[in-house]
Structure 1
Amino acid sequence: MAASEAEAPAPRGGRFAGLLVRALSAIVLGPLLLAAVWCGYPWIDLIAALAAPVMIFEWTRLTRGAPVLRVLAWAYGLAALLALLWLRHQPAFGRETILWVLICIWATDIGAYFVGRTAGGAKLAPRISPGKTWSGLIGGMAWAAVASAVTGYAFGLGETVHLALAGAALAVVGQAGDLLESAAKRRAGVKDSGRLIPGHGGLLDRIDGLMAVLVAVAVARLVAGTSWPWT
């Protein structure tokens, strides 16, 4: 989601320019989201209700002139919100699942940001998002694998190796969601989906990877037919 690396080459001020603003935004918004996830109903439902119109507005801006893409972008965004609510309200591991997802996504973002900007190297998708590198993807996968294993162990969610592999896989899914939104922004000729969050841009810029992961985890849980698919 989530802006794991800048959409353009590093601005003046160093390769970590803008990090302070991003960190402050995360410090303010992160605890609010975690509190809503922890408490569940009605707070997580309120978060989803507030996010829905913002997502629709930003997707509408990014898909201007393409009604089919617009509808698909709405079905995708709303599917992510439904996945969030469905997973959180599960009687078994609902809270733990969402916390695990968030920690994996945040670890992916942090790992990709620092490893990518430090190591550099070959571009991951230069025509879509010039700032992203293969080293950033690998760093994000590594950080997510560790975070997934540690979080899963703490919550008693399953085997450590399975959790590590699942975390690495979610990092790839999250980066794919990030690239999907980057492609939409490039098509629209804009840098950010909006100006809602200082240091991050719009809401979609913050949750692009999270949306993809929520949908993927919900599908995996449905297919597995169990309360937790990575045991």
Structure 2
Amino acid sequence: MGATNTSGKWGDFAIRTGSAVLLVPVVIALAWLGGAWFALLLAVFGVLMALEWVRLVNGKPDLIQQGLHGAAAAAVPWLVLAKLPGTAFAFIALAWVASLLWLLSRRHGQARAALIGLPYIALPVLSLALLRADATHGLSALLWLMIVVWSADTGAYLVGRLVGGPKLAPQISPGKTWSGLVGAVTGAALAGGLLGRVMDLPAIPPLVALAGLLAVIAQLGDLFESHLKRQAGVKDSGKLIPGHGGILDRVDGLIAVALGVLAIGVLRSGTNNIAAALLLW
């Protein structure tokens, strides 16, 4: 994930840890409660991500684009809660078309990058909402996924700073190293396997492999947002979370992973069984 740097290699460690200690229990509690509570969490996060995204790629606020992106992200979890996943996909598609028409009418090249934001913001929200909506495996799948992503982030941060070494993509994100990528994959794989044991899931080796793959996807999501920030000439997508920057800085890896999970779920079993498709191999 992107992070605001302070002095020294470990200068941001305390403030990052403090932010995580405050945020993680809230996220887990709302995920545990599910229903309207988790839908509200996703809607709020979706709107905040939409505001940051448009401002990041556009260089300034655009009320029409922010409204379209925010409306799609906020509506999707409630449509899933109402057991209307097909309507959620249709709503995203309609918002995407409206966004396209608005951008074409403006004929502004940079503004068109905001078009990517609808699938980038709304589809991960849809993925997480569908994951939690599964009455049998939803909570387990969601907790497994979040802990795997957090473990990948932690592994990348700690190993990258302890070991250092060759840069992963210096022109995009100078702070990222190959050792950090190894730490991310290792942390995610260990967490995925251990959680599989704790949850008494039937096939642990595929879960370990899947967790390692998702760690790579999370790192790619981080690099994608770093590329956008470099193009925009900014260090962070926002200033909402101390030590992390904006919402997008904190969840860039989760966004990419959620897109991957949505693809896995749809390909394996359709939109009604994404949780089982993730956990049961």
* TM-score above 0.5: yes
Partner of 2:212: 168
Distance 1:74 1:31 in 2: 28
Residue 197 (1) aligns with residue 246 (2): no
Partner of 2:125: 81
What SS does the aligned partner of 1:63 have?
A: helix
Distance 2:46 2:156 in 1: 27
How far is 1:16 from its partner?
1.1
Distance 2:4 2:242 in 1: 15
Partner of 1:184: 228
Q: TM-score, normalised by structure 1?
A: 0.93
Residue 35 (1) aligns with residue 35 (2): no
Residues 123-173 of structure 1, C-alpha deviations (whole Å, 9 max, x = no match): 111011000000000111001000000111211233221111111000000
Would the aligned equivalents of 1:112 and 1:138 in 2 still touch at CA under 8 Å? yes
Distance 2:136 2:172 in 1: 39
How far is 1:7 from its partner?
7.1
Partner of 1:219: 263
Which of residues 57, 62, 66 in structure 2 aligns to 1:63? 57
Partner of 2:135: 91
What SS does the aligned partner of 1:211 have?
A: helix
What SS does the aligned partner of 1:42 have?
A: helix
CA RMSD of aligned residues (A): 1.5
Q: Which has the higher helix share?
A: 2
Which of residues 37, 46, 69 in structure 1 aligns to 2:40? 46
Would the aligned equivalents of 2:4 and 2:244 in 1 still touch at CA under 8 Å? no
How far is 1:51 from its partner?
1.3
Would the aligned equivalents of 1:157 and 1:228 in 2 still touch at CA under 8 Å? no
Percent identity (aligned): 41
Number of equivalences: 225
Would the aligned equivalents of 2:4 and 2:12 in 1 still touch at CA under 8 Å? no
How far is 1:68 from its partner?
2.3
Give 2:277's aligned amino acid: W
Q: Which range moves more in the overlay, 97-106 or 86-95?
A: 86-95
Partner of 2:173: 129
Would the aligned equivalents of 1:193 and 1:202 in 2 still touch at CA under 8 Å? yes
Would the aligned equivalents of 1:121 and 1:134 in 2 still touch at CA under 8 Å? yes
Which of residues 250, 261, 264 in structure 2 aligns to 1:206? 250
How far is 1:182 from its partner?
0.6
Would the aligned equivalents of 1:59 and 1:70 in 2 still touch at CA under 8 Å? yes
What SS does the aligned partner of 1:96 have?
A: helix
Q: TM-score, normalised by structure 2?
A: 0.77
Distance 2:201 2:139 in 1: 12
The structure with higher relative contact order (CA 8 Å, sep 6+) is 1
Give 1:199's aligned amino acid: G
Q: Which range moves more in the overlay, 152-161 or 14-23?
A: 152-161
Please list every run of 5 or more consecutive structure 2 residues that lacks an aligned counterpart in the other structure: 59-108
Partner of 2:186: 142
Would the aligned equivalents of 1:62 and 1:187 in 2 still touch at CA under 8 Å? no
